[in-house]
Amino acid sequence: MVRIGLIMHGITGRMGLNQHLIRSIVAIRRQGGVLLANGERLMPDPILVGRNLEKVGAIAKAHGIERWTDDLDAALKNPDDVLFFDAGTTQMRAELLTKAIEAGKHVYCEKPIAENVETALAVARLARRRGVKNGVVQDKLFLPGLMKLKMLRDSGFFGQILSVRGEFGYWVFEGDWQPAQRPSWNYRAKDGGGIILDMLCHWRYVLDNLFGPVKAVSCLGATHIPTRVDEAGKPYAADADDAAYATFELEGGVIAQINSSWAVRVRRDDLVTFQVDGTHGSAVAGLTKCWTQHRVNTPKPVWNPDQPQTIDFFQTWDEVPDNWPAENGFKIQWEMFLKHIVEDAPWRFDLMEGVKGVQLAELGLKSWAERRWLDVPALEG
Protein backbone atom coordinates (compact mmCIF):
# COMPACT_ATOMS: atom_id res chain seq x y z
CA MET A 1 0.00 0.00 0.00
CA VAL A 2 1.33 3.42 -1.04
CA ARG A 3 0.30 6.38 1.11
CA ILE A 4 -0.33 9.86 -0.24
CA GLY A 5 -0.89 12.67 2.23
CA LEU A 6 -3.25 15.44 1.21
CA ILE A 7 -4.45 18.67 2.78
CA MET A 8 -8.17 19.28 2.20
CA HIS A 9 -9.50 22.82 2.66
CA GLY A 10 -13.12 23.88 2.23
CA ILE A 11 -14.76 20.58 3.18
CA THR A 12 -17.36 22.21 5.45
CA GLY A 13 -19.20 23.55 2.39
CA ARG A 14 -21.82 21.53 0.52
CA MET A 15 -19.65 20.64 -2.48
CA GLY A 16 -16.46 20.07 -0.54
CA LEU A 17 -18.16 17.81 2.00
CA ASN A 18 -20.51 15.78 -0.16
CA GLN A 19 -18.69 15.41 -3.47
CA HIS A 20 -15.01 15.71 -2.60
CA LEU A 21 -14.74 14.28 0.89
CA ILE A 22 -17.57 11.76 1.27
CA ARG A 23 -18.20 10.59 -2.29
CA SER A 24 -14.58 10.81 -3.46
CA ILE A 25 -11.83 10.52 -0.83
CA VAL A 26 -13.84 8.57 1.77
CA ALA A 27 -15.20 6.32 -0.99
CA ILE A 28 -11.68 5.70 -2.32
CA ARG A 29 -10.47 4.82 1.17
CA ARG A 30 -13.37 2.40 1.68
CA GLN A 31 -12.67 0.62 -1.60
CA GLY A 32 -9.08 0.03 -0.52
CA GLY A 33 -7.41 2.85 -2.41
CA VAL A 34 -6.67 3.50 -6.09
CA LEU A 35 -5.19 0.68 -8.16
CA LEU A 36 -1.88 1.72 -9.75
CA ALA A 37 -0.37 0.42 -12.97
CA ASN A 38 2.18 -1.72 -11.06
CA GLY A 39 -0.55 -3.49 -9.10
CA GLU A 40 -0.03 -1.58 -5.87
CA ARG A 41 -2.82 0.44 -4.28
CA LEU A 42 -2.61 4.13 -3.47
CA MET A 43 -4.29 5.18 -0.23
CA PRO A 44 -5.14 8.87 0.37
CA ASP A 45 -4.46 10.04 3.94
CA PRO A 46 -6.20 13.41 4.32
CA ILE A 47 -5.88 16.11 6.92
CA LEU A 48 -8.97 18.35 7.03
CA VAL A 49 -8.37 22.08 7.45
CA GLY A 50 -10.89 24.73 8.46
CA ARG A 51 -11.34 27.79 10.64
CA ASN A 52 -13.92 26.09 12.89
CA LEU A 53 -11.89 23.36 14.55
CA GLU A 54 -14.91 21.83 16.30
CA LYS A 55 -16.89 21.55 13.07
CA VAL A 56 -13.95 20.17 11.10
CA GLY A 57 -13.22 17.66 13.85
CA ALA A 58 -16.82 16.46 13.91
CA ILE A 59 -16.74 15.88 10.14
CA ALA A 60 -13.43 14.00 10.42
CA LYS A 61 -14.67 11.72 13.19
CA ALA A 62 -17.93 11.01 11.35
CA HIS A 63 -16.03 9.72 8.33
CA GLY A 64 -13.07 7.93 9.83
CA ILE A 65 -10.52 10.69 9.19
CA GLU A 66 -7.81 10.75 11.84
CA ARG A 67 -6.30 14.19 11.21
CA TRP A 68 -7.75 17.70 11.28
CA THR A 69 -6.53 21.19 12.15
CA ASP A 70 -7.34 24.89 12.00
CA ASP A 71 -3.70 25.79 11.23
CA LEU A 72 -3.19 25.77 7.46
CA ASP A 73 0.35 27.13 7.67
CA ALA A 74 1.43 24.25 9.91
CA ALA A 75 -0.24 21.75 7.57
CA LEU A 76 1.61 23.16 4.58
CA LYS A 77 4.93 22.71 6.39
CA ASN A 78 4.45 18.94 6.72
CA PRO A 79 6.61 17.30 3.99
CA ASP A 80 4.60 14.08 4.27
CA ASP A 81 1.51 15.80 2.83
CA VAL A 82 2.30 16.47 -0.82
CA LEU A 83 -1.07 17.63 -2.20
CA PHE A 84 -3.25 20.63 -1.35
CA PHE A 85 -6.93 20.70 -2.34
CA ASP A 86 -9.30 23.66 -2.08
CA ALA A 87 -13.09 23.79 -2.35
CA GLY A 88 -13.55 27.00 -0.36
CA THR A 89 -14.72 30.38 -1.62
CA THR A 90 -13.58 31.76 -4.97
CA GLN A 91 -12.27 34.92 -3.35
CA MET A 92 -9.79 32.99 -1.20
CA ARG A 93 -8.72 30.42 -3.79
CA ALA A 94 -5.93 32.18 -5.66
CA GLU A 95 -4.18 33.21 -2.43
CA LEU A 96 -4.48 29.69 -0.97
CA LEU A 97 -3.23 28.03 -4.15
CA THR A 98 -0.29 30.45 -4.32
CA LYS A 99 0.66 29.69 -0.72
CA ALA A 100 0.46 25.93 -1.33
CA ILE A 101 2.49 26.09 -4.57
CA GLU A 102 5.17 28.15 -2.86
CA ALA A 103 5.27 25.49 -0.15
CA GLY A 104 6.07 22.94 -2.87
CA LYS A 105 2.70 21.19 -2.86
CA HIS A 106 0.89 19.78 -5.85
CA VAL A 107 -2.51 21.51 -6.09
CA TYR A 108 -6.03 20.51 -7.09
CA CYS A 109 -9.05 22.75 -6.75
CA GLU A 110 -12.62 23.61 -7.53
CA LYS A 111 -13.49 26.32 -10.00
CA PRO A 112 -13.42 29.19 -10.66
CA ILE A 113 -9.72 29.21 -9.81
CA ALA A 114 -9.82 33.02 -9.38
CA GLU A 115 -12.13 35.99 -9.85
CA ASN A 116 -10.31 37.35 -12.91
CA VAL A 117 -8.06 36.13 -15.71
CA GLU A 118 -4.98 38.07 -14.60
CA THR A 119 -4.97 36.43 -11.17
CA ALA A 120 -5.84 33.01 -12.57
CA LEU A 121 -2.96 33.20 -15.06
CA ALA A 122 -0.54 34.21 -12.33
CA VAL A 123 -1.42 31.11 -10.31
CA ALA A 124 -1.22 28.76 -13.30
CA ARG A 125 2.14 30.20 -14.38
CA LEU A 126 3.51 29.93 -10.85
CA ALA A 127 2.57 26.25 -10.73
CA ARG A 128 4.32 25.69 -14.05
CA ARG A 129 7.47 27.52 -12.93
CA ARG A 130 7.64 25.63 -9.65
CA GLY A 131 7.12 22.30 -11.41
CA VAL A 132 4.23 21.14 -9.24
CA LYS A 133 1.46 19.03 -10.68
CA ASN A 134 -1.81 20.86 -10.79
CA GLY A 135 -5.42 20.34 -11.69
CA VAL A 136 -8.89 21.82 -11.67
CA VAL A 137 -12.19 19.97 -11.25
CA GLN A 138 -14.02 19.45 -14.57
CA ASP A 139 -16.75 17.25 -13.13
CA LYS A 140 -19.45 17.58 -15.79
CA LEU A 141 -17.29 15.81 -18.37
CA PHE A 142 -17.72 12.68 -16.24
CA LEU A 143 -21.51 12.81 -15.97
CA PRO A 144 -22.99 9.64 -17.51
CA GLY A 145 -25.30 11.72 -19.73
CA LEU A 146 -22.45 13.76 -21.18
CA MET A 147 -20.24 10.71 -21.53
CA LYS A 148 -22.98 9.22 -23.71
CA LEU A 149 -22.98 12.40 -25.82
CA LYS A 150 -19.23 11.98 -26.28
CA MET A 151 -19.72 8.36 -27.33
CA LEU A 152 -22.33 9.44 -29.88
CA ARG A 153 -20.01 12.13 -31.22
CA ASP A 154 -17.06 9.75 -31.47
CA SER A 155 -19.20 7.16 -33.28
CA GLY A 156 -20.20 9.68 -35.96
CA PHE A 157 -23.87 9.48 -34.95
CA PHE A 158 -24.53 13.21 -35.37
CA GLY A 159 -22.95 13.61 -38.81
CA GLN A 160 -22.04 17.30 -38.91
CA ILE A 161 -22.94 18.93 -35.60
CA LEU A 162 -24.99 22.05 -36.21
CA SER A 163 -26.01 23.37 -32.80
CA VAL A 164 -26.04 22.74 -29.07
CA ARG A 165 -28.76 23.98 -26.72
CA GLY A 166 -28.32 23.80 -22.98
CA GLU A 167 -30.81 24.51 -20.19
CA PHE A 168 -29.49 24.63 -16.64
CA GLY A 169 -31.13 25.71 -13.43
CA TYR A 170 -34.00 25.49 -10.99
CA TRP A 171 -35.94 27.70 -8.61
CA VAL A 172 -33.76 28.65 -5.65
CA PHE A 173 -36.15 29.74 -2.94
CA GLU A 174 -35.80 33.31 -1.79
CA GLY A 175 -35.29 32.28 1.83
CA ASP A 176 -38.34 33.95 3.33
CA TRP A 177 -41.12 31.34 3.32
CA GLN A 178 -38.82 28.43 2.45
CA PRO A 179 -35.06 28.15 3.12
CA ALA A 180 -32.84 28.64 0.07
CA GLN A 181 -31.04 25.60 -1.37
CA ARG A 182 -27.88 27.60 -2.05
CA PRO A 183 -25.72 29.77 0.24
CA SER A 184 -26.49 33.48 0.37
CA TRP A 185 -23.00 34.49 -0.80
CA ASN A 186 -23.93 33.15 -4.26
CA TYR A 187 -26.16 36.21 -4.68
CA ARG A 188 -23.85 38.95 -3.36
CA ALA A 189 -21.38 40.48 -5.79
CA LYS A 190 -18.95 41.55 -3.05
CA ASP A 191 -18.64 37.93 -1.92
CA GLY A 192 -17.82 36.60 -5.37
CA GLY A 193 -21.36 35.52 -6.24
CA GLY A 194 -23.07 35.44 -9.61
CA ILE A 195 -24.14 32.70 -11.98
CA ILE A 196 -21.97 33.94 -14.87
CA LEU A 197 -18.73 33.49 -12.94
CA ASP A 198 -19.99 30.19 -11.58
CA MET A 199 -21.47 28.49 -14.64
CA LEU A 200 -19.58 29.85 -17.65
CA CYS A 201 -16.47 28.20 -16.17
CA HIS A 202 -18.35 24.90 -16.54
CA TRP A 203 -19.70 25.60 -20.00
CA ARG A 204 -16.20 26.43 -21.26
CA TYR A 205 -14.79 22.97 -20.61
CA VAL A 206 -18.00 21.21 -21.67
CA LEU A 207 -18.09 23.02 -25.01
CA ASP A 208 -14.32 22.87 -25.62
CA ASN A 209 -14.09 19.14 -24.95
CA LEU A 210 -17.32 17.86 -26.50
CA PHE A 211 -18.27 20.15 -29.36
CA GLY A 212 -15.38 22.46 -30.28
CA PRO A 213 -13.27 25.29 -28.85
CA VAL A 214 -15.22 28.45 -28.00
CA LYS A 215 -14.34 31.24 -30.43
CA ALA A 216 -16.80 34.02 -29.44
CA VAL A 217 -19.47 34.79 -26.85
CA SER A 218 -22.53 36.96 -26.43
CA CYS A 219 -24.02 37.00 -22.95
CA LEU A 220 -26.94 38.75 -21.26
CA GLY A 221 -27.13 38.53 -17.50
CA ALA A 222 -29.96 39.41 -15.14
CA THR A 223 -30.73 39.75 -11.45
CA HIS A 224 -34.31 38.54 -11.41
CA ILE A 225 -34.72 38.32 -7.62
CA PRO A 226 -33.24 41.52 -6.13
CA THR A 227 -33.90 40.74 -2.45
CA ARG A 228 -33.32 37.45 -0.66
CA VAL A 229 -33.18 36.24 2.95
CA ASP A 230 -29.93 34.82 4.34
CA GLU A 231 -29.23 31.87 6.63
CA ALA A 232 -29.92 33.98 9.72
CA GLY A 233 -33.31 35.09 8.42
CA LYS A 234 -32.11 38.58 7.53
CA PRO A 235 -33.11 40.17 4.18
CA TYR A 236 -30.21 41.27 1.97
CA ALA A 237 -29.70 42.87 -1.43
CA ALA A 238 -29.08 40.11 -3.97
CA ASP A 239 -27.06 42.22 -6.40
CA ALA A 240 -25.22 39.43 -8.25
CA ASP A 241 -26.59 37.98 -11.47
CA ASP A 242 -28.89 35.00 -10.91
CA ALA A 243 -29.47 34.23 -14.60
CA ALA A 244 -27.35 34.21 -17.77
CA TYR A 245 -28.50 33.82 -21.36
CA ALA A 246 -25.44 33.09 -23.49
CA THR A 247 -24.70 32.25 -27.11
CA PHE A 248 -21.34 30.84 -28.19
CA GLU A 249 -19.71 30.43 -31.57
CA LEU A 250 -17.56 27.31 -31.66
CA GLU A 251 -14.77 26.27 -33.97
CA GLY A 252 -16.22 24.63 -37.06
CA GLY A 253 -19.31 26.80 -37.13
CA VAL A 254 -21.26 25.10 -34.35
CA ILE A 255 -23.64 27.46 -32.51
CA ALA A 256 -24.27 26.83 -28.81
CA GLN A 257 -26.92 28.50 -26.68
CA ILE A 258 -26.99 27.89 -22.93
CA ASN A 259 -29.44 29.39 -20.45
CA SER A 260 -28.39 29.28 -16.79
CA SER A 261 -30.82 30.40 -14.11
CA TRP A 262 -31.55 30.14 -10.40
CA ALA A 263 -34.95 31.69 -11.09
CA VAL A 264 -36.56 29.11 -13.38
CA ARG A 265 -38.98 26.26 -12.71
CA VAL A 266 -38.09 22.90 -14.22
CA ARG A 267 -40.21 21.25 -16.88
CA ARG A 268 -37.65 19.14 -18.67
CA ASP A 269 -35.90 15.81 -18.11
CA ASP A 270 -33.31 17.04 -15.59
CA LEU A 271 -31.83 20.09 -13.86
CA VAL A 272 -29.47 20.39 -16.80
CA THR A 273 -30.13 19.17 -20.33
CA PHE A 274 -28.15 19.47 -23.56
CA GLN A 275 -29.69 19.00 -26.99
CA VAL A 276 -27.26 18.37 -29.82
CA ASP A 277 -28.57 18.58 -33.38
CA GLY A 278 -26.65 17.22 -36.35
CA THR A 279 -27.28 16.43 -39.98
CA HIS A 280 -27.68 12.70 -39.26
CA GLY A 281 -29.20 12.69 -35.81
CA SER A 282 -29.95 14.52 -32.57
CA ALA A 283 -29.56 13.70 -28.88
CA VAL A 284 -30.77 15.09 -25.59
CA ALA A 285 -28.79 14.35 -22.43
CA GLY A 286 -29.31 15.08 -18.77
CA LEU A 287 -27.10 14.22 -15.82
CA THR A 288 -27.40 10.46 -16.36
CA LYS A 289 -29.84 9.71 -19.20
CA CYS A 290 -29.52 10.33 -22.94
CA TRP A 291 -32.05 9.97 -25.76
CA THR A 292 -31.42 9.92 -29.50
CA GLN A 293 -33.36 10.46 -32.69
CA HIS A 294 -31.77 9.37 -35.96
CA ARG A 295 -32.74 11.06 -39.22
CA VAL A 296 -34.55 7.91 -40.41
CA ASN A 297 -36.71 8.01 -37.25
CA THR A 298 -37.44 11.72 -37.30
CA PRO A 299 -41.19 12.46 -37.48
CA LYS A 300 -42.58 14.85 -40.08
CA PRO A 301 -44.78 17.35 -38.27
CA VAL A 302 -46.89 19.89 -40.15
CA TRP A 303 -47.69 23.26 -38.62
CA ASN A 304 -51.43 23.52 -38.03
CA PRO A 305 -52.59 25.85 -35.25
CA ASP A 306 -56.24 24.86 -35.82
CA GLN A 307 -56.02 21.40 -34.25
CA PRO A 308 -54.23 19.80 -31.28
CA GLN A 309 -50.83 18.30 -31.98
CA THR A 310 -51.18 14.64 -32.94
CA ILE A 311 -47.55 13.59 -32.43
CA ASP A 312 -46.26 12.69 -28.97
CA PHE A 313 -42.75 14.00 -29.58
CA PHE A 314 -41.30 12.51 -26.38
CA GLN A 315 -42.18 9.02 -27.63
CA THR A 316 -40.18 9.47 -30.85
CA TRP A 317 -36.79 9.29 -29.06
CA ASP A 318 -34.79 6.18 -28.07
CA GLU A 319 -32.82 5.97 -24.84
CA VAL A 320 -29.10 5.18 -24.93
CA PRO A 321 -28.53 2.14 -22.68
CA ASP A 322 -26.31 2.20 -19.58
CA ASN A 323 -23.58 -0.01 -20.99
CA TRP A 324 -21.03 0.89 -18.31
CA PRO A 325 -21.32 1.43 -14.55
CA ALA A 326 -22.04 5.02 -13.56
CA GLU A 327 -19.44 6.13 -11.03
CA ASN A 328 -19.39 9.50 -9.29
CA GLY A 329 -17.69 11.95 -11.68
CA PHE A 330 -15.81 13.76 -8.92
CA LYS A 331 -14.39 10.45 -7.69
CA ILE A 332 -13.32 9.43 -11.20
CA GLN A 333 -11.37 12.65 -11.63
CA TRP A 334 -9.84 12.38 -8.15
CA GLU A 335 -8.51 8.92 -9.01
CA MET A 336 -7.09 10.23 -12.28
CA PHE A 337 -5.28 13.10 -10.57
CA LEU A 338 -3.92 10.96 -7.73
CA LYS A 339 -2.46 8.54 -10.30
CA HIS A 340 -1.05 11.51 -12.21
CA ILE A 341 0.84 12.62 -9.10
CA VAL A 342 2.20 9.20 -8.12
CA GLU A 343 2.87 7.50 -11.46
CA ASP A 344 2.69 10.43 -13.91
CA ALA A 345 -0.45 9.03 -15.54
CA PRO A 346 -1.92 11.17 -18.36
CA TRP A 347 -3.63 14.37 -17.24
CA ARG A 348 -4.88 17.37 -19.20
CA PHE A 349 -7.14 19.26 -16.77
CA ASP A 350 -4.44 21.55 -15.40
CA LEU A 351 -4.84 25.07 -14.02
CA MET A 352 -4.57 26.55 -17.53
CA GLU A 353 -7.85 24.79 -18.31
CA GLY A 354 -9.24 26.57 -15.27
CA VAL A 355 -7.95 29.88 -16.60
CA LYS A 356 -9.98 29.31 -19.78
CA GLY A 357 -13.13 29.04 -17.69
CA VAL A 358 -12.39 32.29 -15.86
CA GLN A 359 -11.64 33.94 -19.21
CA LEU A 360 -15.04 32.99 -20.63
CA ALA A 361 -16.84 34.18 -17.48
CA GLU A 362 -14.96 37.49 -17.61
CA LEU A 363 -15.83 37.91 -21.29
CA GLY A 364 -19.45 37.01 -20.54
CA LEU A 365 -19.66 39.77 -17.93
CA LYS A 366 -18.00 42.21 -20.31
CA SER A 367 -20.35 41.24 -23.14
CA TRP A 368 -23.32 41.89 -20.86
CA ALA A 369 -21.95 45.27 -19.77
CA GLU A 370 -21.10 46.37 -23.33
CA ARG A 371 -24.08 44.61 -25.01
CA ARG A 372 -21.99 43.07 -27.81
CA TRP A 373 -20.28 39.93 -29.12
CA LEU A 374 -16.69 39.33 -27.98
CA ASP A 375 -14.01 37.10 -29.49
CA VAL A 376 -12.25 34.62 -27.19
CA PRO A 377 -8.49 35.10 -27.68
CA ALA A 378 -5.95 32.31 -27.24
CA LEU A 379 -4.24 32.21 -23.84
CA GLU A 380 -0.49 31.93 -23.43
CA GLY A 381 0.67 29.93 -20.45
Write out pLDDT tens, residues 55-111: 999 999 999 999 999 999 999 999 999 999 999 989 999 999 999 999 999 999 999
Please, which pLDDT band fits residue 377 given cuts at 50, 70 and 90?
A: very high
> Mutual orientation of helices 144-155 and 195-210 as an angle, nearest 10°?
30
Residues 26 and 126 occupy one common structural domain:
yes
Q: What is the pLDDT of residues 1-39, one digit of tens each?
A: 999 999 999 999 999 999 999 999 999 999 999 999 999
Residues 322 and 175 occupy one common structural domain:
yes
The pLDDT mean for the chain works out to 97
**What average pLDDT does the segment 245-258 reach?**
98
Query: Furthest-apart CA pair in the chain: how many Å?
Result: 75
Residues 130 and 189 occupy one common structural domain:
no
Per the structure, the count of domains in the chain is 2
Whether the full predicted model's pTM is greater than 0.85, yes or no, is yes
Residues 108 and 185 occupy one common structural domain:
no
Q: At 72, which amino acid appears?
A: L
Q: CATH code at 28?
A: 3.40.50.720
Residues 148 and 228 occupy one common structural domain:
yes
The alpha helices in the chain, defined as continuous H runs, are 14-15, 27-30, 53-62, 72-77, 90-102, 117-130, 144-155, 195-210, 329-343, 351-370
* Residue 380 located in a structural domain: no
Residues 317 and 335 occupy one common structural domain:
no
Residues 67 and 91 occupy one common structural domain:
yes
Domain range for residue 89?
2-138+329-347
**What average pLDDT does the segment 203-219 reach?**
98
Name the residue among 195, 207, 192 with its Cα closest to residue 353.
Answer: 207
Residues 145 and 279 occupy one common structural domain:
yes
Residues 202 and 317 occupy one common structural domain:
yes
